[in-house]
Structure 1
Amino acid sequence: MNTSISPTVATAELFPIREVARQTGINPVTLRAWERRYGLIQPQRSAKGHRLYTPEHIAQIRQVLSWLERGVAVSQVKRLLEDAADIHNIEDSPWRAQQEQWLTWIEQLAEQKLDTAFKQAMALYPPETLCQHLFQPVLNRLQEYWTLTDGARVEQVFFMTWLRTQLASRIAHNNTLHSSAPLLVSSLAEQTMQPHLWLCAWLISYSECPVRVLEWPIPTADLSLAVNRLRPRALLLHSSQRLNLEQLRSSLSNIHCPVLLSGQAVKIHQTELLELAQLTCSIEPLQAYHQLLELQLLQSH
């Protein structure tokens, strides 16, 4: 049962839900869903019924995140927190079942089912968890399937279009919450739909940072023009294809903000990129996101 407190009681160590969301990265909708559906993180209540969290609650939220990052379903976390069960005692990850279900819906072109499943997942899990345990594995399996299967182009176009629409919508909404200098995400590949570019942008949009996405490829010679006009806090370049490194090196000399490169191009040019000291490199979206955090490029300006 939640505990109400009197307004006369000192509340120096109690935090409203929006402050907790800021500290932990878990949005209020998700915190309320955890509490209502699974009995996780039971806050105190003010005299007017507002949720108030203690430092212990915040520590519990971080424990929940720790379990989610290890592939545990949110429905299992409460038991694990209570009896400190070891992760190795848990049967096959429940994420596997979700991945299989999504693959079936993609094969069926079942847009409404994907819409509903995504909304439910967003209410329960932080974006990092969804990226690691749902989107990334599904995309990896789809890529392998599309490479080996004839006639899979319809499924590919369907899912890529759906994914871009969903992620772009949430990025646009999150951008309305911030007015500071943006992080610019730009494609260097000839492909017009690169899911990992959009996953990077989507993850970043949940930090204290607006995101501008230039999805269509821009000649490396024109990158400095985009940077001069948008004045971003940093530039994240993405490509899944081989690059013209000489052109990239020349362009970087005219860009005066931190530059990161992500995508399979990093693996393709692993040795050559070591010569570009001013360039920070990562392959996967989560790795790029964490590097931006470590470089403190996503803080509010």
Structure 2
Amino acid sequence: MKPPPDTSAREDLGPDFKKALDAGWLPIREVARQTGVNAVTLRAWERRYGLIVPQRTPKGHRLFCAEHVQRILTILTWLNRGVAVSQVKQLLDTPQVLTEPVGNDWRVLCQTLLHAVTQLAERTLDDTVNQAMALYPPRTLCEHLLMPLLAELEQRWQGQFGAQMERVFVYSWLRSKFGARVYHNNRQLRTARMLLINHSDLPLEPHLWLTAWLISSTDCPVEVFDWPLPAGELTLAVDHLQARGVLLYSSKAMNLSKLSKLLNGVSCPKMIAGATVCIHHAELSEKTTAIADLSLAEDPLSAYLNLIQRGLI
């Protein structure tokens, strides 16, 4: 659940700021809370693209109104349709058909990242993703860049010499990158954690870490176990953590004969996510009626949206 509005700025930023808040204006931290777009991204949208133009106090602090919030939500709608942030303003100001492909910027970014992976260029990889993170919310970035990148890499690695080298490089980077973000977010949060478990023998499962990052971006603390747990120990972990839910992620086929034993002792909501849901679709669909409070998701994005719909994050 999201925290209540932060009004501490009323005491810190002077009488003009307090007067504006009393009049119904919103500080940037509250707009970030309401829209899910972090303050760094909101500032970048203003500074680089002029997408939003907040009011300013005499001391320069940004103030937003309800119309600003609605405009931000409209921006998110376009971004989630695949429109690059550089092309959104013309759609907001003069709605019309674009003369160039809206996915072009995403393609350029993806090609930059692909080249960085082939060259083992960690700094380029990291800098490019950092720049994208400053402009796009996690959901948009995951849907239009990171998941397509991983899919393209998987195709590239089929029978490719050097594939394992590239795979270990990018998976290690991704785990470090998003693991650090999850860790730092967890340090700021005190609510019940969502427990994510890598339920396959694939080390450094990249989609598990994308899922963890998406969940963490909603201010939900996340505990990631990057290795499977036996039935009794899964229940023990849930009890110790007082977890709000359990998500098992697997990109490979799983042993369904042990699934009921694994999950029946878990009292909190449960989810199975990943390509395993496609592999075992019919069997797992039956399990959702046999195992209480079990849901399915095929990828990080659908897992994230499902958890939001269920009110778990």
TM-score of Structure 1 vs Structure 2, range by shorter chain: over 0.9
* Superposition pairs of residues 187-202 of structure 1, within 5 angstroms: 187-202=198-213
Q: Does 1:274 align with 2:285?
A: yes
Q: Does 1:288 align with 2:303?
A: yes
**In 2: Cα distance, 1:92 partner to 1:121 partner:** 16
Query: Paired residue for 1:37?
Result: 48
The secondary structure found in structure 1 opposite 2:223 is strand
Superposed CA offset, 1:168-199 (max 9, x none): 01111111221111000011101111111000
CA contact under 8 A between 1:146 and 1:152: conserved in structure 2?
yes
Q: Does 1:50 align with 2:61?
A: yes
How far did residue 91 of structure 1 move? 2.0
**In 2: Cα distance, 1:58 partner to 1:208 partner:** 19
Q: Does 1:125 align with 2:136?
A: yes
CA contact under 8 A between 1:188 and 1:220: conserved in structure 2?
no
CA contact under 8 A between 2:200 and 2:252: conserved in structure 1?
yes
Structure 1 length-normalised TM? 0.93
Superposed CA offset, 1:256-279 (max 9, x none): 000011001111111111222231
Counting matched residue pairs gives 293
**In 2: Cα distance, 1:170 partner to 1:181 partner:** 18
How far did residue 12 of structure 1 move? 3.4
Q: Does 1:259 align with 2:270?
A: yes
CA contact under 8 A between 1:242 and 1:269: conserved in structure 2?
yes
**In 2: Cα distance, 1:103 partner to 1:12 partner:** 49
Q: Does 1:91 align with 2:101?
A: yes
Superposed CA offset, 1:231-268 (max 9, x none): 10011111112222221111221110000110011111
Sort the Cα spacing of 1:25 and 1:92 in 2 relative to 1 into closer, same or farther, 3 A.
closer
* Superposition pairs of residues 68-87 of structure 1, within 5 angstroms: 68-86=79-97
**In 1: Cα distance, 2:107 partner to 2:216 partner:** 27
Which residue of 119, 128, 149 corresponds with 1:138?
Answer: 149
CA contact under 8 A between 2:230 and 2:262: conserved in structure 1?
no
Sort the Cα spacing of 1:219 and 1:49 in 2 relative to 1 into closer, same or farther, 3 A.
same
Sort the Cα spacing of 1:234 and 1:7 in 2 relative to 1 into closer, same or farther, 3 A.
closer
AA of the residue aligned to 1:297: L
AA of the residue aligned to 1:183: M
* Superposition pairs of residues 58-69 of structure 1, within 5 angstroms: 58-69=69-80
Superposed CA offset, 1:73-97 (max 9, x none): 111111111111235x432512011
**In 1: Cα distance, 2:20 partner to 2:196 partner:** 48
**In 2: Cα distance, 1:8 partner to 1:261 partner:** 49
Q: Cα RMSD between the aligned structures? A: 1.6
Sort the Cα spacing of 1:45 and 1:143 in 2 relative to 1 into closer, same or farther, 3 A.
same
Moved over 6 A (4+): none
- Structure 1 regions of 5+ residues with no counterpart? none
AA of the residue aligned to 1:248: L
Identity over aligned residues, as a percent?
A: 47
Sort the Cα spacing of 1:8 and 1:227 in 2 relative to 1 into closer, same or farther, 3 A.
closer
Structure 2 length-normalised TM? 0.90
CA contact under 8 A between 2:84 and 2:102: conserved in structure 1?
no
**In 2: Cα distance, 1:281 partner to 1:96 partner:** 30
**In 1: Cα distance, 2:62 partner to 2:167 partner:** 44
Query: Paired residue for 2:158?
Result: 147
CA contact under 8 A between 2:245 and 2:270: conserved in structure 1?
yes
